[in-house]
Structure 1
Amino acid sequence: QTGNEASVDRLMKQIPSFMSEISVEFKIIVIDAVRSLCLKFPSKQTLMLNFLSSEVRDNDGYEYKRAIIEAIFDIMYHIPESKEYALSHLCEIIEDCEFTKLAVRILHLLGSEGPKSATPSKFIRHIYNRVILENATVRAAAVSALARFAVHNVELRERIKVLLTRCLDDSEDEVRDRSAMFLRILENEQLCRQYIANETVFTWASLERNLVIYLNDPAQHTAPFDISATPIVTQAEEAAARSPRTAAADITSPTLQAPSASASGAGASSSAGRAAPSGPEAHTAAMERIPELAVLGNIFKSSNPVQLTESETEYGVTCIKHVFPQHVVFQFNCKNTLNDMVLENVTVEMAIVTSDDEDTELLRPERVIPIQSLVHDIPGVVYVVYGRPNGISPTATFSTTMKFIAKECDPSTGEAEEEGVEDEYPLEDIDLVRADYMLPTFVADFTRVWDEVGSAYEVVETYSLTNVASIKAAVSNTIECLGMSPAESTNAVKDQAATHGLLLAGTYAGGVPVVARCRFAFSPASGVTMELSVRSDSAAVSEKVANAIS
């Protein structure tokens, strides 16, 4: 926290002198500090990686070595130019790694990142050594890593197939089975793309819920189940979504009992007054319990929460935008921080302030689902539903005002007075933007998808991005503005880069696949310039996405 770039070299010379004198717990703290220091001063990454690599050779147990390897992984992820050097260090580490879990993790990373490096062939020897020298679990992981190199580096494929053939004589059936499977896959390019290069999975909770809805609706049985409506994410994103288990997530598992459209209105109000849901599946489950929202269909896209009040104000409000097939639902998560006040019949009034989109005139407010009672420190939810007929996707800015009846109450008992006063509380404006209609989609082979979509409806626009100071900032802003998923790790930008190419993929509302290529150039005189090329199956969608940059 107190170091600066000029003192890093001196600091790194001092750290090894006392590492042998402190406990493992403090060593882990030092390793985390070194990682943070490296992320703060990327130019010193070589020095830091040398230190981390030397420390991992100390015999200080699993937790210490895991912390070091995690630090190297973080440096690789956040500092793209360190990848080659870090991978070389990881190859040395697995040569003398006594912990199976760590060896498997490193081999998995080598299989994922090694084929994309400038000289992938130099990693093959280190990986194959694990097949010869390690236990069965590590050998199986090494076989999988070798297969990834064979798929992504065609020039190495025949040589790697020879190594995999040798693995057919392994004493462990798992190693033999993997080798036989990968040898079969490597004979067919389609199988390579489908089973190895493709790192996507369906969001399982969404898939299960869509199947439940399909099975419980006889009217849908006239057509096959449409799996394309289920979002696709990377395996890393799916794992990240599963890891933070919350109470809300635990109660949202779907059942074969479809949401009832005949539930009472009182039930809807009660649901709206419950704690704000967390996560896409939790949002869906919460809205399925409200009859007025259950009939809207499946959520296509949910935005991240947007703060509409200051953190220290008496009322806290955030907004999440949900896009449905024919509607947009604004979910206002409200919290009352006053212990001597109860808010009743809480609603949010919205009005369109500005819009350059002619479709905005067709947006119509349909209903507001209020919070019956908002007591101190127990959050509630207000839903505002807008219809978007024929699947239109307008952009607009809305003014928002929270309205309610305020009643004083006894903080000790929570009992409110009979009489209250009508009051309102102004909130920040909400922007409905193009990214709200775009679902990020992971693609393993961008070039193939780009060619498959074709140039029939390609739109090319050029922008001068005067509001950003670097290509790295321009890439981040473009991804956020379009709401698409970066392909082939093109979101990683080197510091002080003068040119860069960004590949993006997504699915627009209505199930329209969209791919985009962005070419960035930087000059001190003119700043950042971007050429954006968008392809889709719809001329209107291509035009809208290409003009979404602001």
Structure 2
Amino acid sequence: MIGSFKKMKKDEEYGGGNPYHCTDKTSVLQEARVFNETPVNVKKSTHVLTKILYLLNQGETLGTKEATDVFFAMTKLFQSNDIILRRLVYLGIKELCGVAEDTIIVTSSLTKDMTGREDQYRAPAIRALCKITDASMLQAVERYMKQAMVDRASGVSSAALVSCRHLAQHSPDVVKRWVAEVQEAVQSDNVMVQFHGLGVLHQIRKSDKLAVTKMVSKLISYGLRSPYAICLLIRIVAKLVEEEDSGIGESRLMEYLESMLRHKAEMVVYEAANAIVALSTSTSRDLVAAIAVLQLFLSSPKPTLRFAAVRTLGKVAMTQPAAVTACNLDLENLLQDVNRSIATLAITTLLKTGSEGSIDRLMRSISAFLNDISDEFKIVVVEALRSLALQYPRKQAVLMGQLADMLRSEGGLAYKEAIASTIITIIEDNPEAKEKGLDHLCEFIEDCEHTTLAVRILHLLGREGPRTARPARYIRFIYNRVILENAAVRAAAVSVLARFGAECSELLPNILVLLQRCMLDTEDEVRDRSTYYHALLSSDDTSLIARCILNPPMYSLSSLERALLTFLAGDTSEAFDASCVPMAPPPPSTASMTSAAGSSITAAISAAPDAGTTPAQRHEERTISSHDKYVEQLSGIPAFASLGPLFKSSLPVELTESETEYVVRCVKHTFLNHIVLQFDCSNTLNDQLLENVSVGLEEDGSSWQILHTLPCPSLPYSSPGTCYILLAIPEDIMQTTGTFTATLKFQVRDCDPITGEPETEDGYQDDYTLEDLEISVSDHVNKAQRSNFAAAWEELGPSSELEDTFALSSLSTLSEAVIQVTNFLGMHPCDRSDRVPDGKSSHTLYLAGTYRGGHAVLVRAKLALSDGVAMQLTVRSTDPNVSEVIASAVG
């Protein structure tokens, strides 16, 4: 005994460590032969099986044959009654059943253990059995599952209920038949059984709003013993409160949430408080009660409660900082908390709720503990400083000084990028802070170790530096990068020098000298750029300089590659025409939202459904689908292979509600002379198989021609399918918009809901009416980036200019007008003109795009508040017809 203790002590002194860290898959699979020994070697088998489970949980993968061999060898371990080994076997079955073949062979052994008398076998056997059971086998074990859910042993009952939640994902109809046993489990005295029972009951009924309402009403009146179940019920109640017409009075639901603030279990009290502050319908009175509870938790001796409370208050402070102000004193006390995570959340919450006068004190507090926390929490502090800088512009100098100190401290790339992004945000928000912010960034890149960050800052210098009062002061920092940095940074610095030469005529002679020196660089990319830019700047051709340096074409590289390969494979006697190559989409604009296209902009604005969406939703909606994915997908279809380069793909347009029998959405792919309509369809009915699925289109006019229709051969339940329609774009550019009546057409075959197999040989024809599909002007326009809008505007000149005035009477603010005009035209805002300063009564919006066929188009929209919003729209393009179609689309 003493010797054993000494050995353990010695292992502890040497650090112990992970005994499996050197485990090798090949050797372990060899060792697995021990499973075949008779009698079973319990000690060795336990050790080897533990190694296998360790490898699988570390991400190691087994091939199908390897997994099958191990699985069958492992089944022989059922001969042993050793509890530890048997439970390891259950874990092994669960891990390998998704890879190994013929796992059904262990069904009888698992069923035997599941119905036996040993409770330590029964619960894990249930979990393992449900893992390998499919819909066709489920009926064979249904009786045992129903008995297990109401078993006297709480572990067995919980195992059965948790397994039900997994089974309901692929066999919901079978699990619904067990609702009586689930309801009995909800009445259990065991806290975990009651919790799991409520989870299963809600999963069964969540698609039936009336059933959920009845369940909640009963449980509120009856009461639950389990604090875990009560927490789940609170979440269900909170969701009902957010929904309209829940069937239960909102006041009754809120009364229940408020009553839980007085529960004896701390987890329930916190869950109720968290639910109340997260509700969009909460009144100031509701918030006061919830925040008072969270304030008490701030002084709790338990770190978990302090952390939970301060994190929740931090979320509230993002939307309603005034409501959290009463907790500021308690939050300041947490700045000295031994748990630095809590201290970090406290300081970030204070930064959101603090007044302008408290900023200096908070900055000193930040400096005191910043070195003691990880980069992850430092980034949280930086984000809070960003919000504070935007809220109090007069304190931006103090905040920028703090950020500059943080920029010079130790930290990883993500941390430094967050600081640089915050300084850039301040520069863009406040022109007066531009030069100070650029100075801080210039000092930082002198010692910057991160190539991507150095290139980003150089790009910012090239965009903002020439427009400052003294642009020459930045040349030294830029040229130092050419001397001291790696090839990628040197190449970026050369491009920035060229921008200074293009925009600052007084610096041009010196820039040309520096570019000549760069021609001697050891890297060919740097030499090529230097030679190229030197030749352009020496030409004195302002139009050429503007087109190639200030606003260079930003092609989609995948489309450019395809166009070049096609050109080289054909007749190369004529020059390559780059106008057919689509431009790469610019970064999403702050104010961009999902397009609300319509026959006129005023109609689109008044009908726009997403005017009140959150920034997170708008960001998700405006995410541009992968251009490369669609190019690859469409080029593989023979009917579309000869259409040329893909110009643009729209965001998906929903043609049905998300909860209808059939869900259809459309993606519009625009080519030079054609539009491909891609209809992504889903069948939500498990008793139907749809075949020969297509979409029929009808238009009032006759300008559009349907050239080809590709139906979807089969659309089983819950398996998405796609059908296509190829449209020829009318030659008359003024007829290239239209509205189509859409109908989903298909053949229906009834099938078994469980197996999905058709029950009849022949089906019947049916159709389903869809929402109207609209092709608008934005479908012919791709966003284009113009880093210098003024130069691009002058380059196009007034020869194709059109101007008109409009009244947007349905809008009340300039910000709304900016968003809606931008989305309707499908163009990109330039020079940060999508940001409307507070308090302004007039604003000018600059938009840039490329019309189908490679025609550049620019829009200048002068907006003013006057019984709504008045707009003077000026359009310039390389083609007068494009100017006309853009201007007429707004009318």
Matched, 1:483 2:831: no
Cα distance in 2 between the residues matched to 1:409 and 1:84 = 70
Paired AA for residue 846 in structure 2: L
CA gap of 1:345–1:139, structure 2 versus 1, over 3 A, is: closer
Matched, 1:197 2:550: yes
User: How far off is 1:371 after superposition?
Assistant: 0.9
Q: Choose which of 440, 452, 455 in structure 2 pairs with 1:89.
A: 440
Paired AA for residue 400 in structure 1: A
Q: Choose which of 385, 397, 400 in structure 1 pairs with 2:742.
A: 400
Contact 1:439 1:483 in 2 (8 A): yes
Matched, 1:330 2:671: no
Matched, 1:361 2:702: yes
Cα distance in 1 between the residues matched to 2:513 and 2:564 = 44
Provide Cα deviations, 1:302-358, integer angstroms capped at 9, x if missing partner. Answer: 3222122333444332211233444333211112344444322212222336xxxxx
Report the counterpart of residue 316 of structure 2 in structure 1.
2
SS state at 1:397 partner: strand
Matched, 1:425 2:768: yes
Paired AA for residue 728 in structure 2: G
CA gap of 1:422–1:86, structure 2 versus 1, over 3 A, is: farther
CA gap of 1:234–1:151, structure 2 versus 1, over 3 A, is: farther
Report the counterpart of residue 68 of structure 1 in structure 2.
419
User: How far off is 1:230 after superposition?
Assistant: 1.0
Report the counterpart of residue 53 of structure 1 in structure 2.
404
Contact 1:490 1:503 in 2 (8 A): yes
Q: Choose which of 640, 653, 660 in structure 2 pairs with 1:293.
A: 640
In angstroms, what is the RMSD of aligned CA positions? 4.1
Q: TM-score, normalised by structure 1?
A: 0.75
Cα distance in 1 between the residues matched to 2:826 and 2:474 = 35
Cα distance in 1 between the residues matched to 2:831 and 2:404 = 28
User: How far off is 1:172 after superposition?
Assistant: 9.4
Cα distance in 2 between the residues matched to 1:221 and 1:170 = 34
Q: Choose which of 853, 864, 871 in structure 2 pairs with 1:530.
A: 871
Cα distance in 2 between the residues matched to 1:325 and 1:95 = 47
Query: Higher strand proportion, which one?
Result: 1
Provide Cα deviations, 1:335-389, integer angstroms capped at 9, x if missing partner. Answer: 2344444322212222336xxxxxx432234443211111233322121233344
Report the counterpart of residue 273 of structure 1 in structure 2.
none
Report the counterpart of residue 262 of structure 1 in structure 2.
none
Report the counterpart of residue 544 of structure 1 in structure 2.
885
- The 5-angstrom pairing of residues 99-110 of structure 1 reads 99=450, 101-110=452-461
Cα distance in 2 between the residues matched to 1:40 and 1:410 = 60
User: How far off is 1:181 after superposition?
Assistant: 6.5
CA gap of 1:348–1:80, structure 2 versus 1, over 3 A, is: farther
Report the counterpart of residue 806 of structure 2 in structure 1.
463
Aligned residues between the structures: 500
CA gap of 1:534–1:414, structure 2 versus 1, over 3 A, is: same
Cα distance in 2 between the residues matched to 1:333 and 1:77 = 40
CA gap of 1:24–1:223, structure 2 versus 1, over 3 A, is: closer
Matched, 1:302 2:643: no
Cα distance in 2 between the residues matched to 1:536 and 1:391 = 18
Cα distance in 2 between the residues matched to 1:498 and 1:27 = 39
- Unpaired runs of 5+ residues, structure 2, are 1-314, 322-351, 589-623
User: How far off is 1:462 after superposition?
Assistant: 0.5
CA gap of 1:363–1:109, structure 2 versus 1, over 3 A, is: same
Cα distance in 2 between the residues matched to 1:213 and 1:166 = 38
- Unpaired runs of 5+ residues, structure 1, are 238-276, 354-359
Q: Choose which of 486, 495, 506 in structure 2 pairs with 1:155.
A: 506
Cα distance in 2 between the residues matched to 1:99 and 1:211 = 34
Paired AA for residue 202 in structure 1: Y
Paired AA for residue 516 in structure 1: V
Cα distance in 2 between the residues matched to 1:383 and 1:176 = 48
Contact 1:300 1:325 in 2 (8 A): yes
Cα distance in 2 between the residues matched to 1:60 and 1:512 = 46
- The 5-angstrom pairing of residues 332-351 of structure 1 reads 332-351=679-698
SS state at 1:309 partner: coil
Report the counterpart of residue 847 of structure 2 in structure 1.
504
Contact 1:470 1:496 in 2 (8 A): no
CA gap of 1:148–1:365, structure 2 versus 1, over 3 A, is: closer
SS state at 1:362 partner: coil
Contact 2:708 2:726 in 1 (8 A): yes
Cα distance in 2 between the residues matched to 1:18 and 1:426 = 62
Q: TM-score, normalised by structure 2?
A: 0.49
User: How far off is 1:436 after superposition?
Assistant: 1.4
Q: Choose which of 583, 588, 592 in structure 2 pairs with 1:232.
A: 583
Contact 2:563 2:645 in 1 (8 A): yes
User: How far off is 1:546 after superposition?
Assistant: 0.7
Paired AA for residue 343 in structure 1: L
SS state at 2:889 partner: coil
CA gap of 1:494–1:163, structure 2 versus 1, over 3 A, is: farther
Contact 2:740 2:774 in 1 (8 A): yes
User: How far off is 1:151 after superposition?
Assistant: 2.0
Query: Higher helix proportion, which one?
Result: 2
Provide Cα deviations, 1:241-277, integer angstroms capped at 9, x if missing partner. Answer: xxxxxxxxxxxxxxxxxxxxxxxxxxxxxxxxxxxx9
Query: Of the two, which has the highest radius of gyration?
Result: 2
Contact 2:582 2:854 in 1 (8 A): no
Paired AA for residue 652 in structure 2: P
SS state at 1:414 partner: coil
CA gap of 1:196–1:61, structure 2 versus 1, over 3 A, is: same
User: How far off is 1:461 after superposition?
Assistant: 0.6
Report the counterpart of residue 327 of structure 2 in structure 1.
none
Contact 2:546 2:795 in 1 (8 A): no
Higher relative contact order (CA 8 A, sep 6+): 1
Cα distance in 2 between the residues matched to 1:395 and 1:511 = 18
CA gap of 1:173–1:227, structure 2 versus 1, over 3 A, is: closer
CA gap of 1:44–1:372, structure 2 versus 1, over 3 A, is: farther
Cα distance in 2 between the residues matched to 1:169 and 1:300 = 40
CA gap of 1:318–1:119, structure 2 versus 1, over 3 A, is: farther
Report the counterpart of residue 409 of structure 1 in structure 2.
751
Contact 1:79 1:494 in 2 (8 A): no
